Chains A and B, each alone.
Chain A
């Protein structure tokens, strides 16, 4: 790997964890206002941003607030007057933001937030899973899930592109594994000249609060109009799917890296596909190599765009595969299928008339490692159970005292 990458933009190789990659992306996006409250494992993001502002590398306001509810409220206000804003959180912090999440999207504000995903209390657990992120599924935020520090950086730039697009005007989350990524150092490329990112993200006019041209935002709306206003959000989310694909093209054009709503590895000729998200996708690819050397035609899929759910991309990536195994990292308690992404995948494929044999696994809850051996075990279990797998619901992989014989 060279220390300098000559794409359309000259890039330098840096060595960062995903928290710092998120901070550098916010810096390069030239944000105006940041408000945040520290929470493990996200804290590194705002620590680094504080340092960047104190060093004079970024001209931005850092608002120190007393809670995550206030952090999000503060940037809602800043965004409403036209600022480009950023925040970061995890776990209980994201839960505490919940009501403001809906206010931000309902006010159609293009906020961007990074989430280092973490399990939820009780019992208290600071380690990784995706329960926090899955809980905010219905809050009308565009949601990317990254699996490398490079992708965290690129996705935050991309998130501003999509959120600020006049066809969208919805906030975005860029999520990644707490600890497994937030605290893992790895090399990545970032543009040498930050000015180029500003060129990628031109400031576009939108409705803002301005005393000289008064408007009202977030007012009381009676039953005769509320539904139509919320339906506009439905349409904006659908439109976002197309805008994300356009942004993928732009990221490729400037930075040379190709992203898709659903990414794949060795999937084209696969009979068996395993779909997961976040950092586990890296480990899954190694497991695929191992299973291929055993003669199994296995491939990997990654859900990169969780909201809006990329139904068409899923259909084309699954294609004619006979078996699809979805490995979730969160639990939807009491659901017919307890893996939240599995549930969505089943609905999407049913809608599109594809009917592979599907099984749903849940693994890695509360920071339990998911190794290559775990993925191999899940594939073998799924093949053994066949059609019976889904009748079980979701298979809770590695939980002591539970067997699915």
Chain B
């Protein structure tokens, strides 16, 4: 459960074009839809495709009284497995969680990093199957929903539709997966979200 005094802090790492900034906004909006307080902002810099990108989300029961970048996140989400661990492991809390886009086993990665709390999902594979493009941000949000009890998969689905397609959906995820009225691209994203949620492997040493 959320500590009412403190915000949950999530840091996204990706490369320009993969949607890390959008993912941070969708997560924060999903929290806001549940009536929580939230905040999302990117690490600002020249916007170049392929360059390392950082984005931040804070979620809290009370008003968020800070605008400083997140140095010690509870959760780190890595959209691109080619980023060096020295970048994304920086400041991650020892009782926090690393979520990685990878085909490899969570236990093996945990051993290599010497960090015993790892979740993995093959977001690239899921994105290619559902979107026909390696845009992994929504799949990574599915993995996040699996481990972050404060924000529901339903809320993330709603926020995804709103942020990416300007669609307001009042129903739940199950009703969404059965519909065709939201269009193929939107449905692909919702399927990717749902598939990633189911396929995420969580390892705690």
The judgment on whether A and B are partners is: yes
Interface residues in chain A, defined as those with a beta carbon under 8 Å from any beta carbon in chain B: 1-3, 13, 15, 41, 126-127, 177, 179-181, 183-187, 279-280, 282-283, 285-286, 289, 367, 369-372
Q: How far is the CA of A15 from the CA of B29 in the complex (A)?
A: 6
Across the interface, A372 reaches (CB within 8 A) one of B33, B40, B41, B66, namely B66
B67 near A180 with CB under 8 A, answer yes
B40 near A185 with CB under 8 A, answer yes
A187 near B67 with CB under 8 A, answer no
Closest to B39 in A: A186
A120 to chain B minimum Cβ distance, whole angstroms, is 17
B36 near A1 with CB under 8 A, answer yes
* Residue of B25, B66, B68, B69 most packed against chain A (CB within 10 A): B68
B28 near A180 with CB under 8 A, answer no
* Interface residue B42 (Cβ < 8 Å from any Cβ of A): yes
Provide the B34-75 mask, 1 if CB < 8 A to any CB of A, else 0.
011111111010000000000000000000111111010000
A371 near B37 with CB under 8 A, answer no
CB-CB under 8 A from A285, the residues of chain B are 65
A282 near B65 with CB under 8 A, answer yes
Known pairs A3-B35, A369-B68, A371-B71 / 13 extra A-B pairs, C-beta < 8 Å: A3-B33, A41-B44, A127-B44, A180-B41, A185-B25, A186-B38, A186-B40, A187-B37, A282-B64, A282-B66, A282-B67, A371-B68, A372-B68
Q: How far is the CA of A126 from the CA of B35 in the complex (A)?
A: 34
* Interface residue B32 (Cβ < 8 Å from any Cβ of A): yes
A1 near B44 with CB under 8 A, answer no
CB-CB under 8 A from A279, the residues of chain B are 67
Q: How far is the CA of A257 from the CA of B71 in the complex (A)?
A: 32
B4 to chain A minimum Cβ distance, whole angstroms, is 13
CB-CB under 8 A from B68, the residues of chain A are 283, 369-372
Q: How far is the CA of A372 from the CA of B68 in the complex (A)?
A: 8
CB-CB under 8 A from B40, the residues of chain A are 184-186
Contacts A15-B29, A15-B32, A127-B44; A184 near B66 (Cβ below 8 A): no
B65 near A187 with CB under 8 A, answer no
Please count how many residues in chain B sit with their CB below 8 Å of the partner chain's CB atoms. 21
B1 to chain A minimum Cβ distance, whole angstroms, is 17
Q: How far is the CA of A3 from the CA of B66 in the complex (A)?
A: 23
CB-CB under 8 A from A369, the residues of chain B are 68-69
Contacts A286-B65, A370-B68; A185 near B41 (Cβ below 8 A): yes
A186 near B64 with CB under 8 A, answer yes
CB-CB under 8 A from A286, the residues of chain B are 65-66
Q: How far is the CA of A180 from the CA of B40 in the complex (A)?
A: 10
B67 near A184 with CB under 8 A, answer yes
Across the interface, B42 reaches (CB within 8 A) one of A15, A126, A183, namely A183
CB-CB under 8 A from B71, the residues of chain A are 371
Q: How far is the CA of A193 from the CA of B64 in the complex (A)?
A: 28
CB-CB under 8 A from A2, the residues of chain B are 35
CB-CB under 8 A from B25, the residues of chain A are 185
A181 near B65 with CB under 8 A, answer no
B14 to chain A minimum Cβ distance, whole angstroms, is 17
Across the interface, A179 reaches (CB within 8 A) one of B29, B44, B65, namely B44
Q: How far is the CA of A367 from the CA of B32 in the complex (A)?
A: 27
Q: How far is the CA of A15 from the CA of B168 in the complex (A)?
A: 13
CB-CB under 8 A from A1, the residues of chain B are 35-37
Closest to A128 in B: B44
Across the interface, A184 reaches (CB within 8 A) one of B29, B36, B39, namely B39
CB-CB under 8 A from A367, the residues of chain B are 44
B149 to chain A minimum Cβ distance, whole angstroms, is 19
Contacts A1-B35, A2-B35, A179-B44; A15 near B28 (Cβ below 8 A): yes
* Residue of A126, A179, A181, A187 most packed against chain B (CB within 10 A): A187
A187 near B41 with CB under 8 A, answer no
CB-CB under 8 A from A13, the residues of chain B are 32
B44 near A185 with CB under 8 A, answer no
CB-CB under 8 A from A177, the residues of chain B are 67
CB-CB under 8 A from A289, the residues of chain B are 65
Q: How far is the CA of A126 from the CA of B44 in the complex (A)?
A: 9
CB-CB under 8 A from A280, the residues of chain B are 67
B66 to chain A minimum Cβ distance, whole angstroms, is 5
Interface pairs (8), CB distance under 8 Å: A177-B67, A180-B41, A279-B67, A282-B64, A282-B67, A283-B65, A283-B68, A371-B66
CB-CB under 8 A from A181, the residues of chain B are 67
Q: How far is the CA of A2 from the CA of B33 in the complex (A)?
A: 9
Q: How far is the CA of A41 from the CA of B45 in the complex (A)?
A: 11
Q: How far is the CA of A4 from the CA of B109 in the complex (A)?
A: 45
Q: How far is the CA of A363 from the CA of B67 in the complex (A)?
A: 14
Q: How far is the CA of A111 from the CA of B35 in the complex (A)?
A: 36
Closest to B24 in A: A185
Kindly list the 9 A-B residue pairs having the minimum CB-CB distance in the complex, ordered from nearest. Answer: A184-B41, A371-B68, A285-B65, A187-B32, A185-B40, A179-B44, A279-B67, A283-B66, A15-B29
